[in-house]
Amino acid sequence: MPFNLIDAAKSMIPQDLITKAASATGESEQGISKALTAAIPAVLIGLLGKNASGGSSALLPMVKDAAGNNAWSNINSLLGTGAGGGLGTTVMGWLRSLFGDKLGKVTDTIAGFAGVRRSSAGTALNMAAPATLGSLGKYVQDNCLTAAGLSSFLQSQQSMIMSSVPAGIDLAATMEISGIRTPGENITPALSALASATDKKTNAWLWLFTLLVAMLLIWLLSGRSCN
pLDDT at 194: 46
pLDDT band at 209 (very low <50, low <70, confident <90, very high): low
pLDDT at 190: 44
Q: Is residue 40 scored above 60 in pLDDT?
A: yes
pLDDT band at 227 (very low <50, low <70, confident <90, very high): very low
How far apart, in whole angstroms, are the C-alpha atoms of residue 145 and residue 199? 50
pLDDT at 56: 78
With b meaning 16 or more CB within 10 Å and e meaning fewer, what string describes 134-159?
Answer: bbbbbbbeeeebebeebbebbeebbe
pLDDT at 221: 65
Q: Where are the alpha helices (DSSP H) in the chain?
A: 5-11, 15-25, 29-52, 56-68, 86-99, 103-114, 118-142, 147-163, 171-174, 187-226
How far apart, in whole angstroms, are the C-alpha atoms of residue 45 and residue 38? 10
Q: Is residue 97 scored above 50 in pLDDT?
A: yes
How far apart, in whole angstroms, are the C-alpha atoms of residue 204 and residue 216? 19
pLDDT at 54: 79
pLDDT in tens, 60-82: 999 999 998 776 667 877 776 55
Question: Other C-beta atoms within 10 Å of 179: how many?
Answer: 11
pLDDT band at 100 (very low <50, low <70, confident <90, very high): very high
How far apart, in whole angstroms, are the C-alpha atoms of residue 206 and residue 98? 57
pLDDT at 185: 46
Question: Other C-beta atoms within 10 Å of 25: how many?
Answer: 21
How wide is the angle at C-alpha 199 spanned by C-alphas 194 and 203, nearest 5°? 150
Q: Is residue 217 scored above 60 in pLDDT?
A: yes
DSSP string, 117-183: -HHHHHHHHHHHHHHHHHHHHHHHHHTT--HHHHHHHHHHHHHHHHHTSPTT--HHHHTT--S---T
Which among 27-31, 66-70, 183-187, 189-193 has the top mean pLDDT? 27-31
pLDDT in tens, 141-151: 999 999 999 99
How far apart, in whole angstroms, are the C-alpha atoms of residue 186 and residue 96? 30
